[in-house]
């Protein structure tokens, strides 16, 4: 198992009462997991997400995770 920190933005954080808006929360996930595995574990459908970054770099759903990284998940932004 490895530990990653997840920080959610916008209304995504409402589903997680223990989420700290600054520090996020830490989660354990199996070695070899990818972003899509993490999102599935958190029950966050990829179709409703905007961007995901790891340690400040934008990544796609198939990107692998490493122990200790910080994953930021943003909701889509709409407007006009």
pLDDT of amino acid 14: 83
In a domain, 41, yes or no: yes
pLDDT of amino acid 50: 84
In a domain, 57, yes or no: yes
pLDDT by residue for the chain (80 residues), tens only, comes to: 999 999 999 888 888 888 888 999 999 999 999 999 999 999 987 777 889 999 999 999 899 999 999 999 998 876 55
In a domain, 33, yes or no: yes
In a domain, 79, yes or no: no
pLDDT of amino acid 79: 55
Report the number of distinct structural domains present in the chain.
Answer: 1
Distance from C-alpha of 79 to C-alpha of 20, rounded to nearest angstrom: 27
Domain that holds residue 42: 2-73
> Which CATH number covers residue 31?
3.10.20.30
In a domain, 13, yes or no: yes
Predicted TM-score (pTM) of the model is 0.89
The candidate with the shortest Cα–Cα distance to 44, out of 77, 11, 22, is: 11
And the tokens for 44?
Answer: 């966050």
């Amino acid at each position: 198992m490895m530990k990653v920190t997840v920080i959610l933005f916008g209304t995504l954080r409402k589903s997680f009462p223990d989420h700290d808006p600054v520090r996020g929360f830490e989660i354990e996930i199996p070695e070899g997991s990818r972003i899509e595995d993490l999102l599935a574990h958190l029950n966050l459908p990829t179709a409703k997400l905007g961007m995901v970054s790891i340690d400040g770099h934008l990544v796609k759903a198939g990107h692998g995770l490493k122990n200790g990284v910080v994953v930021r998940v943003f909701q889509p932004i709409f407007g006009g």
